[in-house]
Structure 1
């Protein structure tokens, strides 16, 4: 569909001067940000009906809560489904933070949420945190490209933001400030966030700072996915055995 302002040219002529079309620029920014999401065609298949509880032990218990790994996973999935229902009906007041070891299904569950929201006709931005920060850094060296302010504005204002892999590395003060600014804006404007992290909540404060964790706790209810073994490794072994 051609742009209603510039007819697809990307420029608007006013007298002898040409200006970048703001509609086309916003669309290009949206496409570029979405390209960072890594919500691949495979991840678009991650849906609630494909969440497999067989990876979560019905016998081993979470030492802190006294429930089995399978019960903990079922609680997280039910909370994720309830969040989607509330979000689509305009009643979502809190997001989710999903914790667990590498290969415990956190990203899969976050994709289930994102895909359900997309199917419901609402906009969602799925960002892998390290890649998102790299994109902001890259904007400093791009002449005529999107600015840091434009990139952050998209993440701040999208109806639903999913932050995957928060806490995946040691954060500089610069990175801490970007994440704080993002979460602070969304808290103040009552815009929900879904977060995944393989770092325990009590350890995130050391990585991100007290102010950021305070806002994260205010934004999200915590849930855990616990496994004995990396799900990806199990699936790889099953695939090899089936050949």
Structure 2
């Protein structure tokens, strides 16, 4: 973030010989909330207003959910909006499990919720599951410099934050150690009624296969399921559109 032109990052300006808070204070507080939440820069512009329904077919019907791709997207979108609205009133509501193939808008929708709640000053963590597991492993790797945190620091943050968003809970190489860490996080949050938003490209059956019955059972107990379906990877479609515009 560039230095403030008014106060040069001092936080105050002199007006009529009196020191008053600079208008950048709120902007910097918001910037720090985004930074501390772990939301990647590329997702900070994801908003409900920018969610594009044109990628979801009104003709194709999902064979499992027996409704069109478009209707599934509308349901997931409403569930996400409702979660944000209700969470502000009650931080102990059920979370969401957003499933769908790669490039179906799962992460975008999760980021929409994160951005909306950060504007409301809600403490949250946005964690990409493979990155979280790598960070946990790194605390035990003697060949790598620690990043100033321990395994307990990471686990406590994931367990205790008001809202945890776990992005890309997919078909990774889960060892018993990593499966136990995910179970510990989710079990703690279930017991203390702290919601979690999860995105995954796996079905519940596949989640059970990769994570185990006890972890999947807790996810089902904590989260309402939503599904997104697309014909083509939205990221690839957008890239083609940008190339055609040049």
**TM bin (shorter chain):** 0.7 to 0.9
1:92–1:79: structure 2 CA closer, same or farther, 3 Å change rule? farther
- What is the aligned partner in structure 2 of residue 156 from structure 1? 159
Give the corresponding residue for 1:25.
none
Which runs of no fewer than 5 residues in structure 2 stay unpaired?
A: 1-31
Q: Which residue among 199, 203, 208 is the counterpart of 1:200?
A: 203
User: What's the C-alpha RMSD, in Å, of the aligned pairs?
Assistant: 1.8
Match of 2:127, SS state, is strand
Per-residue deviation, 1:144? 9.0
User: Match of 1:42, SS?
Assistant: helix
1:40: Cα distance to partner?
Answer: 2.5
Q: 1:143 to 1:197 in 2, by over 3 A?
A: closer
| Alignment correspondent of 1:7 | none
C-alpha contact (below 8 Å) 1:139/1:145 kept by paired residues: no
Q: 1:35 to 1:89 in 2, by over 3 A?
A: closer
Task: Name 1:83's counterpart in structure 2.
Answer: 83
For structure 1, list consecutive stretches of 5 or more residues without a partner in the other structure.
1-30
Secondary structure of 1:223's counterpart equals strand
Deviates more, 1:90-99 or 1:224-233: 90-99
1:181-201 superposed Cα distances (whole Å, 9 cap, x missing partner): 000000000000000001111
Change beyond 3 A, Cα 1:235–1:214: same
Output the CA distance in 2 between the equivalents of 1:169 and 1:36. Answer: 23
1:223 aligns with 2:206: no
- The two structures have a TM-score, normalised by structure 1, of 0.83
Q: Say whether 1:171 aligns with 2:174.
A: yes
How big is the shift at 1:36? 8.7
Classify the secondary structure of the residue corresponding to 1:238.
Answer: helix
Q: What is aligned with 1:56?
A: 56
Q: Conserved in 2, the CA contact under 8 Å of 1:36 and 1:128?
A: no
Q: 1:121 maps to which residue?
A: 121
- For residue 41 of structure 1, report the CA deviation from its aligned partner: 2.7
**Which residues of 2 match residues 18-167 of structure 1 at below 5 A?**
37=38, 39-90=39-90, 92-140=92-140, 141=142, 142=145, 145-167=148-170
* Matched residue SS, 1:125: strand
Displacement after TM superposition at 1:92 (Å) = 4.4
Taking structure 2 as the reference length, the TM-score comes to 0.82
Shift of 1:143: 6.3
